[in-house]
Structure 1
Amino acid sequence: MTKIKSVVFSRFRNYDHYQFITEFRTRINKATPATLNIENKMPGFNTAYAELDTVYKKNDSSDFTPLINGADVKRDRYWVLFLCVCALQLWAPTRQKLRLPKS
């Protein structure tokens, strides 16, 4: 069985939290609540999960969801590109250091 040693929920974004809880629920159901001795906690957990799942299914059905997801991907790519350019500027040797003739 896999143990979760520590989780910092404050670092999760909304969808990250949803993914974590979904995976957690899957693992609980795989191991069975009776085995984990949490049968009495499951009805409340399942109710809360159903509400969370409804919210995310409704969120995914928005007309703007594909546009937002596309913008997220573009933002991430531009951010990586920006970091690469900054790293290149910091680490790449300059013309003076290489002693190259000006062309």
Structure 2
Amino acid sequence: MNRSPRECFESAATALALRKGGMTACADSIIALSDALDSYPRAAPGDDLGPAHGRARVVIDARLASDESRFATAKYALELEMAAYWALRARALPSKGKF
């Protein structure tokens, strides 16, 4: 699969946001997110993923500091940003207007 760095970040951030647990349980997802951030170091101005990108940096910083409490707080913030991002994407889908 040939995907852009942005798409890789989108997938890695979503995967970590959906995972339960702390730094040990989420180790593989944290590595994937770190690698995605390396290949996608900055979100473009106005990019809907921009807020999540910033939150992801804080997640990685907390992991590098081995600070479980800061990691949990940062991961929760990432979860909220990714939920908002996917809600925007869902609202952009065509609707049949049944509800």
Both proteins in one fold, TM over 0.5: no
| Structure with greater proportional helix content | 1
TM interval, shorter chain, is: 0.3 to 0.5
User: What TM-score results when the alignment is normalised by the length of structure 1?
Assistant: 0.34
Higher RCO, 1 vs 2 (CA within 8 Å, ≥6 residues apart)? 2
